[in-house]
Amino acid sequence: MEREIITIDEKKCNGCGSCVPGCPEGALQIIDGKARLVSDLFCDGLGACIGDCPEGAISVETREAAPYGEAIVMNTIIAAGPNTIKAHLKHLRDHDQQEYFEQALAILLKKGLPIPKLDEDSCPSGGCPGTAAQSISHPAKSEQAATVGSVQSQLRQWPVQLHLHNPNAPYLKNADLLISADCVPYAYGDFHNRFVKGRVVITFCPKLDSGLDNYIEKLSEIFTHQEIKSVTIVRMEVPCCGGIEHIVQKALEKAKVFKMVKISIVSINGKLV
């Protein structure tokens, strides 16, 4: 395929090695006194290494090259340790490579590895709490605040976004799953009592999210290993939202698991269709 990829001017390169740390993907090495691109598979073509070259020997060109492979790169990244993982994720995020970023997160979660914090001022030590799988308990009705019109949350676990779910999380064992499109909780006023209560929530957008193949893979792992009791889908009536059914069906087929799936559809004015 033809894509953007770095090129190195050997006449300008003095082999200083400044570019190597700037490429957490491991695409660059100093060989025979010169910086070398060791594999097209490892180079994402974003050119993060360009600013680290004092001689101006690195640039980006468009040519035939093997497709960049995030899964292949992550094997090298993970082996290099937490600091390299963090550098790689930050590199992808800062260059708006959302699809690769989400693929990398999915690989870390699949391997049961922690998601590193990327912004020192936004997350405490130990990683971002938004990615920490946990069960949630709620007080009995008698203990709830007696606020007129208040609605008690029925959420039983965290996180809810599919990208952040760990397929091995204990709360998924023998769970009744609610797989919801992102917009539903905003459109349907009684979402918690009608749908969330008693279920483990998974949410995503089949139209705007990238990495949908990763969604299929992750749901397949859940269906394969967690002995899910029931599956409920709730989505909007708009046509694009139907993709959520397709993704769940593909995941069930991949897992070779048969489940009756209950589907509820919400109209844009907040009514059950």
At 102-148, the pLDDT tens digits run 888 888 888 888 888 776 444 444 444 455 556 666 666 555 444 44
DSSP state letters, 190-202? THIIIIITTSEEE
* Cβ burial 8-33 (10 Å sphere, 16+ → b, else e): beeeebeeeebbbebbbbbbbeeeee
- pLDDT for res 119: 61
pLDDT at 263: 96
Q: Look at the pTM and tell me if it is higher than 0.75.
A: no
- For domain 1-117, the CATH architecture is 2-Layer Sandwich (3.30)
Chain segment 207-221, per-residue pLDDT in tens:
888 778 889 999 999
Task: Count CB neighbours of 139 within 10 A.
Answer: 9
> Do 134 and 162 contact (CB within 8 A), yes or no?
no
**pLDDT tens profile 194-210:** 999 999 999 999 888 87
Continuous H helices in the chain: 70-80, 82-94, 98-110, 184-187, 191, 212-225, 243-255
Mean pLDDT across 81-107: 81
- pLDDT > 70: what percent of the chain? 88
Domain extents in the chain: 1-117, 152-266
